[in-house]
Structure 1
């Protein structure tokens, strides 16, 4: 048998205040004065000088503020790439994403599309990217998505919601500075943290599980329980631990796969624009049949943090709309195979998914 040779983030720096080293980290990668660094920054940081004043701009470098109201679209990536090609005479020295999963996915996708021809939608899928991306750096400002470590980018295309899964997707450098997560609103902290928790449950209960993904998944799972159920942690400890859980959870699914909650959440995201973290929560709340212990723990965490999830978001959808979501979910075959096994199609039918969606 042949074994998959996985890429990893080649360099990572961790610690409170490590963001201040960004300049010395990226300076050696500069390809001259005409080749800028492009900083994609979550627009919640507009006017927040405690972060923006520390971005090391020089020459033609540029900050591009990105709205995270919606998940990134393939058309949006095409527009961002085109604007860089039109504005600068030389290809950027590097792309730096500062924000949550959405911003990091945008940074990863743009860095790939600057070296690969065609439209972004042509690369949605597994191992379709031919050329290495340009140098790209991920700096998470919220913990849980695992986007800082994964080999995918979650993108909504004209036909489906699916990532660019490739060996060229992972960042060349990641900066994990827990201090950057200090202003995250409570509900967002919970939803994104639960993305990590669900990664662990789906990886540890999946048929693709191996010793490598298991060691990361078990560690992330333990940290999530500590962060969301233990009252003894200080705020700083909680920030640091959740950042580590996110990394380990991301590593766990990088070497295995996610499952039912993610597949169905992609359907909600594609049709209704439900964001990934809260989408996972809405779906996972109804998956006792697949992950009984995990869902019980999730409900405990939800109660402890007084989180009220939206109810009945699918009840007024017509059959055509439900079919769109069902088809998006069913197209994610590796996720179903991991969750249910090789014969997943016998158990996971459109009728079954319709019943589940109507509960949400």
Structure 2
């Protein structure tokens, strides 16, 4: 048997206010005066001096504000890489992603594509990247996706939604400062937190489960239950715990895989542009057949936090549109194999998936 030899994030700093150490972390990594650091920052922080004033720009360093209204696309990665190459005298010293999962995925993808030829869509899949990425740093400002720790960068391409899964994808450095999550709107906090919760349920009930993924998954699941079901946590405590749940949830799927909710939400996202966290929740709400206990607890969390999920999003789709979503979902074979086993094709038919989508 051959075991996977996974890379992990080699350096991580954790603690409220640790974002203030960014400049001293970056200084030794600067290649020279003409090799800038490029900061990719969620544009919700565009007028947020509290955050942006703490980023020290030297020489040709640039902040690029990026809208996350849509999920990250391979074409967006290609445009960013082109812009960065045009604006820099030399190859950048590093890419720093500051934001939620979308921004972190973009930062990972851009750092890979600066050193690899072709277009980002050519690398969607498993282990297709040939050259190491440039130095890249991830700084999450919302917790739950696990993008800060994972070896994938999830992108919507011309043909499918699929990650660039490679050993060169993980960040070289991560800064976990829970203070950066203090202004996250409640719905977004819930949806992204549920992404972590669903990671854990899919990992812990999957056929790929092993002691490595189980230990991380159980820790993250316990933290999620504390955060979303208990009443006695302080705000700061809840922010810190969710940041660690996200980290451990991401680690739990590093050595296993996600499952039905993710496979089907990729279809929703590809066709309808539905954000990843919301899509996972919409799908998971209908998956009692696959995850009975997990869905029951999810519904309790939904009621406790007064969350109303979008309804009827598939009600007016054509046969062709259903087929597009089903094709995307079925293409994610490792997810189905983890969820159901080697013979998953016997139970997961096109009719079965259409029936599920029609409930959403």
Which bin holds the TM-score, normalised by the shorter protein? Answer: over 0.9
Indicate yes or no: 2:72 matched with 1:72: yes
Shift of 1:88: 1.3
* Partner in structure 2 of residue 219 of structure 1: 219
Question: What does 1:5-24 align with in structure 2 at a 5 Å threshold?
Answer: 5-24=5-24
SS of the equivalent of 2:57 reads coil
SS of the equivalent of 1:50 reads helix
Q: Aligned equivalents of 2:7 and 2:345: distance in 1? A: 30
Q: Aligned equivalents of 2:48 and 2:318: distance in 1? A: 43
* Partner in structure 2 of residue 247 of structure 1: 247
Q: Aligned equivalents of 1:53 and 1:78: distance in 2? A: 28
When normalised by structure 2's length, the TM-score is 1.00
Q: Aligned equivalents of 1:254 and 1:171: distance in 2? A: 14
* Partner in structure 2 of residue 60 of structure 1: 60
Question: What does 1:139-178 align with in structure 2 at a 5 Å threshold?
Answer: 139-178=139-178
Post-superposition Cα deviations, 1:308-351, rounded to whole Å, max 9, x if no partner, equal: 00001001001000000000000000000000000000010110
Shift of 1:94: 0.2
Q: Aligned equivalents of 1:208 and 1:169: distance in 2? A: 22
Q: Aligned equivalents of 1:210 and 1:134: distance in 2? A: 32
SS of the equivalent of 2:311 reads coil
Q: Aligned equivalents of 1:85 and 1:234: distance in 2? A: 45
* Partner in structure 2 of residue 347 of structure 1: 347
Shift of 1:255: 1.1
Q: Aligned equivalents of 2:65 and 2:85: distance in 1? A: 18
Shift of 1:56: 1.8
Question: What does 1:88-99 align with in structure 2 at a 5 Å threshold?
Answer: 88-99=88-99
Shift of 1:86: 1.4
Q: Aligned equivalents of 1:330 and 1:85: distance in 2? A: 37
Gaps in structure 2 of 5+ consecutive residues: none
* Partner in structure 2 of residue 204 of structure 1: 204
Q: Aligned equivalents of 1:291 and 1:56: distance in 2? A: 47
Shift of 1:87: 1.6
Q: Aligned equivalents of 1:255 and 1:244: distance in 2? A: 18
Indicate yes or no: 2:181 matched with 1:181: yes
Shift of 1:2: 1.2
Q: Aligned equivalents of 1:84 and 1:193: distance in 2? A: 32
Q: Aligned equivalents of 2:178 and 2:86: distance in 1? A: 36
Post-superposition Cα deviations, 1:144-189, rounded to whole Å, max 9, x if no partner, equal: 0000000001100000000000000000000000000000000000
Q: Aligned equivalents of 1:155 and 1:295: distance in 2? A: 27
* Partner in structure 1 of residue 87 of structure 2: 87
| Runs of 4+ residues deviating >4 angstroms | none
When normalised by structure 1's length, the TM-score is 1.00
Q: Aligned equivalents of 2:218 and 2:231: distance in 1? A: 21
* Partner in structure 2 of residue 320 of structure 1: 320
* Partner in structure 2 of residue 295 of structure 1: 295
* Partner in structure 1 of residue 279 of structure 2: 279
SS of the equivalent of 2:156 reads coil
Q: Aligned equivalents of 1:28 and 1:275: distance in 2? A: 37
SS of the equivalent of 2:155 reads coil
* Partner in structure 1 of residue 33 of structure 2: 33
* Partner in structure 2 of residue 115 of structure 1: 115
Gaps in structure 1 of 5+ consecutive residues: none
Q: Aligned equivalents of 1:291 and 1:317: distance in 2? A: 26
Q: Aligned equivalents of 1:93 and 1:349: distance in 2? A: 48
Q: Aligned equivalents of 1:88 and 1:167: distance in 2? A: 26
Q: Aligned equivalents of 1:225 and 1:288: distance in 2? A: 18
Post-superposition Cα deviations, 1:286-328, rounded to whole Å, max 9, x if no partner, equal: 0000000000000000000000000010010010000000000
Shift of 1:85: 1.2
Indicate yes or no: 2:178 matched with 1:194: no
